[in-house]
Amino acid sequence: MANIAGRVGAVLKRSSARHAGLVVGVRLQAESAYWHRGRLPDGPRSIVEIGSITKVFTTTLLADLAREGLVALEDPVQRHLPERLRMPTRGREITLLDLATHHSGLPRLPKGLLVTAYTRDRRNPYAKLDRARLESAVGATKPRREPGRRFVYSNYGMGLLGHVLALRAGTTYERLVRARICEPLGLDDTWIDTPAAERPRVATGHTRRGRETSHWNLAALAGAGGLRSTAADLLTFLSLHGDGSSSTLTAAARETRRRRADLDAIGVGLVVHPGNPCPYASRVLPVYVHLNGRAVWL
């Protein structure tokens, strides 16, 4: 861990001038350590928006529900939507696997959100996309290409996946995450709506210029990036992908790492890029950094 401390120190020194607050958590075998710097309400225990790391939670849910037989990866999304909703098709129906691997052909954002996201709602672009608006978007947002042909990153697709899984389980996305992942792993600080008693620990977001800014509410697309968490919780979640993991979710985590498509030289699993040095990799140094109120993995 002493060698790691030097590398983390370099990250903190290099980044502190550009970011309001930083938290770095490292787990090496059974030992964990944390470092922090900057404007944080509770040091390394601060709660931050984890952004697209939420997507790994969503695909872990998919793998876990598939393991139980509640869904299948090849199920058409349409099968798990209310009968009144009809998804447009292009070539063939979009499957849950297509959503989980960013091969659905759907655009990055649902129809009607792009303009407002960059204009009047830019400080909180997803907040108005409640369930009713999402259901309207389902029928109005057409695939731009046939499913399965090309990797195209889609927050809409991943948010829709989280929504559909919650519908299948008869609950909300947050309750599904809490029941299936957080409670079994003991992730006490991972929520969409942080409990009132813990809200003073939630880090304030900042713009690139260091000015305070509001938090994001992803509403019905929460499965794409709506969770908040801590360094400790994320390292525990990451440990699912370790060789010694014995959680009931180990099998689901293993499924997320199976190579299912290719992106140039990079393999694509269920949102995870197995064995490659990228933000969702399971075999790289698990460094968690809080940047301006949000979290990334290095």
Q: Where are the domains of the chain?
A: 2-297
pLDDT at 209: 77
pLDDT at 38: 86
The rounded distance, in Å, linking the Cα atoms of 297 and 24 is 9
Out of 3.40.710.10, 3.40.50.10880, 3.30.43.10, 3.40.1170.60, the CATH code matching 2-297 is 3.40.710.10
Q: How far is CA 258 from CA 57, 65, 165, 290, in A?
A: 16, 16, 20, 28
pLDDT at 18: 66
Whether the Cβ atoms of residue 95 and residue 74 lie closer than 8 Å to each other: yes
Among residues 165, 169, 172, the alpha carbon closest in space to that of 192 is found at 172
Residue type, 59: T
> Per-residue b/e over 140-161, b at no fewer than 16 CB within 10 Å?
ebebeeebbeeebebbbbbbbb
Residues of the chain with pLDDT below 50 are 275-298
pLDDT at 273: 56
pLDDT at 43: 94
pLDDT at 21: 84
What is the reported pTM? Answer: 0.88
pLDDT at 286: 31
pLDDT at 275: 46
